[in-house]
């Protein structure tokens, strides 16, 4: 009997069955030319009516995966395309002159070729993961529905913005859906926020270590990073307060919940202070909220904008860490900069991806999103705990590891005598590369650090990669 993997009540049965057969075709279990069982047989295998199977076959035929010939029955017609010999999944390009060397290294490692060989570099989610699969089913359904595209605002598909409003209302943020702009991911949302509130030459405060994408963006936009040291409680309070009151910064970038890379979440009092400083000093604060839904202790942590009174705080986020970064869907709550922000994005991208936005709205509004997010959070926590326990037991007291409040990374300090460049050279060779601490600041502050991105995965390849990396570090510790 055929089993329906990930059987869901959200989707008509014929689409679930079509999805099941499609998977078998794409993974080669049903090879090109294979004759499918007769309609009656399929109906009996899947315990559905003959009409349902006819709809399944119509769907597969529309996708070009099968062909129906008189007297020959139904045959699979799908041949996976072999990649051309010259194909390079991450085509190299020369970075623009003037980009800081740290930003260049980050681009090289994580965007240009890192996804090809670095197990621990990026949070690249597998399309097999539950949340992506559910989103994909909605997307599939939306694409197959005979629907006319509505007249959508360049700010984004309204039901998606309404669904996001509902999610933020659970986090104590009252918002109207017309105050949300849909973007192509969080980095895109951040870029436009910086373009709106800063001018070339401005100073932007940023706690470091910081997501290297910020530093790259600042360089690209000719903005100067003013680094504020992170502590286990968040950006050093006195330093941040002094920088905010210096009269010399145009904006603050902050990643207050499950900070990348340290995993730190700041207290509610601290969030309130930041929002108060922003309003009193009229300094825009751009809050990166991308990891908030991966907070292990509190499902709905209140963001800094929840304490905002006059709209000086903006929030940027995306689905990259929960559904995946392949679909490039993010958003910005631009506060008082709404008109300028929406104008900026409208000019830059004219309109958003209609069907993808619709699929996401349906998924967020569906019955499974919350429980799947809870599951995903639990899996992330188990994965970080397991990796952390392994590293501690193998590498002992020589290394310092963060205890993240959430997120997807471990930030690790190796002793001064360990040559991190050499660890990385060996890790690359053994297909267990990571991002070195040096790319998380423009100053040489984090040379002894490494960041490991950990993603729950059922496959042993991943555990083997962690074991290889641990062995490399262990050897370097022992020879030090």
Ligand X SMILES: Cc1ncc(COP(=O)(O)O)c(C=O)c1O
Q: What residues make contact with ligand X under the rule CB under 6 A?
A: 123, 185-187, 211, 213, 255, 260, 288, 290, 318, 320, 325, 330
Instruction: Tell me the closest approach of the beta carbon of residue 114 to ligand X, in angstroms.
Output: 12
* Closer CB to ligand X, 43 or 294, in the complex: 294
* Closer CB to ligand X, 52 or 320, in the complex: 320
* Closer CB to ligand X, 213 or 404, in the complex: 213
Spatial distance between the Cα atoms of 361 and 355, rounded to a whole number of angstroms: 10
Spatial distance between the Cα atoms of 175 and 46, rounded to a whole number of angstroms: 46
Instruction: Tell me the closest approach of the beta carbon of residue 183 to ligand X, in angstroms.
Output: 9
List the structure tokens of 315: 């929030």
Number of H helices, E strands in the chain: 16, 14
**3 state DSSP class of 459:** coil
Instruction: Tell me the closest approach of the beta carbon of residue 123 to ligand X, in angstroms.
Output: 6
* Closer CB to ligand X, 21 or 240, in the complex: 240
Asked if residue 270 lies in contact with residue 235, where contact means CB atoms within 8 angstroms, the answer is no
Question: Which residues make beta-bridge pairs with 317?
Answer: 331
Nearest CA-CA partner of 281 in 303, 258, 310, 315:
310
* Closer CB to ligand X, 160 or 290, in the complex: 290
* Alpha-carbon 48 to chain mean position: 38
Instruction: Tell me the closest approach of the beta carbon of residue 213 to ligand X, in angstroms.
Output: 5
CA-to-CA dists, residue 432 to 346, 385, 424, 428, angstroms: 41, 19, 9, 6
Give the DSSP H/E element, type plus range, for residue 370: helix 369-395
Q: Is 332 left (phi over 0), alpha (psi -120 to 50) or beta?
A: beta
The DSSP secondary structure of 220-269, one letter per residue, reads HTT-EEEEEEEETTEE-HHHHHHHHTTS--SEEEE--SS-TTT-----HH
Kindly provide the b/e burial profile for residues 160-182, where b requires at least 16 CB atoms within 10 angstroms of the residue's own CB: bbbbbbebbeebebebebebbbb
CA angle 286, 115, 120 (to 5 degrees): 75
Instruction: Tell me the closest approach of the beta carbon of residue 72 to ligand X, in angstroms.
Output: 46
**3 state DSSP class of 188:** helix
Question: Which residues make beta-bridge pairs with 231?
Answer: 234
Instruction: Tell me the closest approach of the beta carbon of residue 188 to ligand X, in angstroms.
Output: 6
* Closer CB to ligand X, 213 or 234, in the complex: 213
* Closer CB to ligand X, 114 or 306, in the complex: 114
Instruction: Tell me the closest approach of the beta carbon of residue 365 to ligand X, in angstroms.
Output: 21
Instruction: Tell me the closest approach of the beta carbon of residue 94 to ligand X, in angstroms.
Output: 22
* Closer CB to ligand X, 17 or 160, in the complex: 160
The DSSP secondary structure of 44-96, one letter per residue, reads HHHT--HHHHHHHHHHHHHTTSEEEETTTEEEE---PPPPPTT--SS---PPP
346 half-sphere exposure, CB direction, 13 A CA radius: 11
Strands (E), 255-354: 285-288, 313-318, 330-333
């Amino acid at each position: 009997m055929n089993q329906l993997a990930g059987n869901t009540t959200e989707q008509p049965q014929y689409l679930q069955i079509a999805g099941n057969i499609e998977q078998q075709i794409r993974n080669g279990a049903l090879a090109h030319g294979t004759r499918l069982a007769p309609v009656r047989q399929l109906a009996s295998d899947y315990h559905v009516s003959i009409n349902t199977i006819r709809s399944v076959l119509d769907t597969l035929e529309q996708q070009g995966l099968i062909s129906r010939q008189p007297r020959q029955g139904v045959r699979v017609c799908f041949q996976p395309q072999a990649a051309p010999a010259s194909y390079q999944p991450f085509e190299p390009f020369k970075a623009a002159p003037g980009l800081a060397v740290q930003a260049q290294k980050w681009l090289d490692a994580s965007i240009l070729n890192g996804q090809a060989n670095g197990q621990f570099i990026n949070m690249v989610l597998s399309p097999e993961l539950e949340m992506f699969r559910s989103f994909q089913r909605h997307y599939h359904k939306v694409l197959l529905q005979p629907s006319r595209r509505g007249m959508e605002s360049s700010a984004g598909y309204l039901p998606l913005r309404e669904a996001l409003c509902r999610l933020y209302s659970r986090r104590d943020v009252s918002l109207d859906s017309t105050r949300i702009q849909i973007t192509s991911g969080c980095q895109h949302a951040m870029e436009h926020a910086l373009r709106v509130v800063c001018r070339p030459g401005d100073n932007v405060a940023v706690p470091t270590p910081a997501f290297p994408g910020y530093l790259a963006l600042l360089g690209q936009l000719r903005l100067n990073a003013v680094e504020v040291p992170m502590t286990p409680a968040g950006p050093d309070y006195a330093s941040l307060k002094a920088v905010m009151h210096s009269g010399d910064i145009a904006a603050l970038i902050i990643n207050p919940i499950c900070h990348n890379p340290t995993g730190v979440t700041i207290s509610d009092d601290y969030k309130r202070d930041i929002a108060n400083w922003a309003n009193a000093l009229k300094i825009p604060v751009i809050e990166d909220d991308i990891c908030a839904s991966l907070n292990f202790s509190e499902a709905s942590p209140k963001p800094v904008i929840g304490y905002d009174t006059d709209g000086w705080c903006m929030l940027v986020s995306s689905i990259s860490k929960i559904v995946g970064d392949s679909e490039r869907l993010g958003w910005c709550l631009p506060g008082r900069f709404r008109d300028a922000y929406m104008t900026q994005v409208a000019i830059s991208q004219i309109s958003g991806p209609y069907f993808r936005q619709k699929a996401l709205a349906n998924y967020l509004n569906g019955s499974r999103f919350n429980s799947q997010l809870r599951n995903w959070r639990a899996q992330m926590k188990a994965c970080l705990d397991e990796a952390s326990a392994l590293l501690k037991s193998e590498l002992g007291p020589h290394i310092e590891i963060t205890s993240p409040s959430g997120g997807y990374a471990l930030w690790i300090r190796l002793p001064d005598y360990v040559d991190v460049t050499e660890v990385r050279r060996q890790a690359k060779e053994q297909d267990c590369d990571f991002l070195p601490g040096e790319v998380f600041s423009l100053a040489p502050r984090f040379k002894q650090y490494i960041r490991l991105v950990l993603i729950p995965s059922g496959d042993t390849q991943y555990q083997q990669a962690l074991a290889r990396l641990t062995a490399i570090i262990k050897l370097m510790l022992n020879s030090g």
